[in-house]
Amino acid sequence: MDVFLPVLFFSWIMYFWETYLSKRQHKMYEAVQALPKELTSVIDSKTFEKSRVYAIDKSNYEFWNGLFGQVIMTTVLWFGGLPFVWDLSGAILDKVGLDENNEIVHSLVFALLGNIFSLIIDLPWKFYYTFVVEEKHGFNKMTVGFFFKDLIKKTLVYEAINLPIMSLIIYIVKSGGDYFFIYAWLMVFIISMILLHIYPEYIAPLFDKYTPLPEGDLKKKIEELADSLDYPLKKLYVVEGSKRSSHSNAYMYGFHKNKRIVLFDTLLEDYTPVTRTESMKDTSDTDETGKDSKTEDGHDKEKKKIGCNTEEVVAVLGHELGHWYYSHMVKNLVIIQLNIFLMFFVFGKLMNLRQLYVGFGFSDFQPILIRLYVVFSFIFSPFNEIMSFVMNVLSRRFEFQADEFAVNLGKREQLKTALLKLFKDNLAFPVADWLYSTRHFSHPPLLERLRGMDDVKQKSE
Ligand code: ZN
């Protein structure tokens, strides 16, 4: 039996399911016109209305972008786009005098053509999102030049990492014998470990500027906190995320005794990027009272004051250190690796079922890359859907645990105000449809987090 039509049909079912969830969430944006009672004291109705309009704009964008993607994919598959590009790759290899029967080289050209195609197709969408949607709501900080330079760099780095890994996987599947799935998984595991090490050190700096956090109150307090928990903090960086957008964040990474923390400059109320001012002197000690005095920047006049004060940033790090304390990252890694192993194992069982690939236009010869594509993106899609539900449920549990950890460090009030400020700065919408948020949110809704923190306090009192 040819499975092409059922596969295509099922991908549309999945598409409608996702669209249905988004529609439910979209309805919330339109229905909830007034600020929830719990938030009236902390968020003004103007900010709320802004976040509502932002959410609606994003949701509309995602709807059209999703529909476009689904239609393009269906069209490409329906009209034999895959075998066409496969033959085209062979013809190109022939032209330049290379052996088109070398499957790895053939697959490389195929993948490259495919990636160029999706790059071109996605470009107008990315451009519109950055320069229309994000711009309209004041988040975009990129110039058109930066956007294109960034995109080209990203593409080159992506291909440089992706194509060799793909070649290795094809090689292992072809020559690994019955137990190739063990070698394939092992290879992916080793490469992801290597990437985890070199990415922050060598790859991330290609895109953004990382500067050590300048000496001062904030640095001292973060180091004290790390010390008190025996967290082996080696380096403390600020990344100039403000060149891209004014969304804010913080994260930590590293192995064993070699940990780093990275703060987005947009998270820090009083941080001025080194590239803009010579002196860092007057940026360390301020609190709420310094609110209006920070306009000497002249960079842009209507620049809002965003970010958190020192105590709040320290509280955010208390939360992050909670993730480390409970080994959340290691737990995630183990689950992801088990999942990859399982997928390779099942792929091994399915890869020789010729009828899976015939309908996609490959009746005589089924390239490994095509088999990987069909099995991983279509056959596994229901499983992937369930996995992302499970991972989000787990991630939200981890967030509550990390919040609890910060509360136990005595940082409840600071973390609460920090979350509220970040919430405001990022124009997040405070109300979510339960089904949509279960599927999509890796973090619990703000109100639940605030309530969760209150519960912790009551327990320990
Ligand atoms: Zn967290």
Write out pLDDT tens, residues 186-232. Answer: 999 999 999 888 888 888 888 888 999 999 999 999 999 999 999 99
> Which one has a higher pLDDT value, 426 or 19?
19
Distance 427 CA to ligand 1 centre (A): 18
Distance 399 CA to ligand 1 centre (A): 5
pLDDT over 60 at 280, yes or no: no
Q: Which pLDDT score is estimated for 241?
A: 75
Write out pLDDT tens, residues 23-77. Answer: 999 999 999 888 888 788 778 888 899 999 999 999 999 999 999 999 999 999 9
Distance 40 CA to ligand 1 centre (A): 25
Which 3-state string (H, E, C) describes the chain?
CCCHHHHHHHHHHHHHHHHHHHHHHHHHHHHCCCCCHHHCCCCCHHHHHHHHHHHHHHHHHHHHHHHHHHHHHHHHHHCCHHHHHHHHHHHHHHHCCCCCCCHHHHHHHHHHHHHHHHHHHHHHHHHHHHHHHHHHCCCECCCHHHHHHHHHHHHHHHHHHHHHHHHHHHHHHHHCHHHHHHHHHHHHHHHHHHHHHHHHHHHHHHHCCEEECCCCHHHHHHHHHHHHCCCCEEEEEEECHHHCECCCCEEEEEECCEEEEEEEHHHECCCCCCCCCCCCHHHCCCCHHHCCHHHCCCCCCCCCCCCECHHHHHHHHHHHHHHHHCCHHHHHHHHHHHHHHHHHHHHHHHCCCCHHHHCCCCCCCCCHHHHHHHHHHHHCHHHHHHHHHHHHHHHHHHHHHHHHHHHHCCCHHHHHHHHHHHHHHCCCCCCCCHHHHHHHCCCCCHHHHHHHHHHHHHHHC
Write out pLDDT tens, residues 90-136. Answer: 999 999 999 889 999 999 999 999 999 999 999 999 999 999 999 99
Residues less than 5 Å from ion ligand 1, measured at CB: 399, 402
pLDDT over 80 at 281, yes or no: no
- Taking CA atoms, 226 is separated from 95, 220, 232, 307, in Å, by 60, 10, 7, 21
Distance 319 CA to ligand 1 centre (A): 6
Q: Which pLDDT score is estimated for 174?
A: 93
Distance 322 CA to ligand 1 centre (A): 8
CB 289 within 8 A of CB 309: no
Q: How confident is the model at residue 460 (pLDDT cuts 50, 70, 90)?
A: low
Q: Which pLDDT score is estimated for 1?
A: 65
Distance 400 CA to ligand 1 centre (A): 8
Q: Which pLDDT score is estimated for 416?
A: 93
pLDDT over 90 at 260, yes or no: no
299-310 mean pLDDT? 63
Distance 326 CA to ligand 1 centre (A): 12
Q: Which pLDDT score is estimated for 199?
A: 86
Distance 431 CA to ligand 1 centre (A): 19
Distance 68 CA to ligand 1 centre (A): 33
Cβ count near 67 (within 10 Å): 12
Write out pLDDT tens, residues 342-379. Answer: 999 999 999 999 989 999 999 889 999 999 999 999 99
pLDDT over 90 at 269, yes or no: no
pLDDT over 90 at 294, yes or no: no
Give the rounded percent of residues in the chain with a pLDDT score beyond 90: 64
What's the mean per-residue pLDDT of the chain?
Answer: 87
Distance 422 CA to ligand 1 centre (A): 13
Q: Which residues are catalytic?
A: 320
Write out pLDDT tens, residues 141-193. Answer: 899 999 999 999 999 999 999 999 999 999 999 999 899 999 999 999 999 99
Q: Which pLDDT score is estimated for 244?
A: 75
Distance 443 CA to ligand 1 centre (A): 7
267-283 mean pLDDT? 51
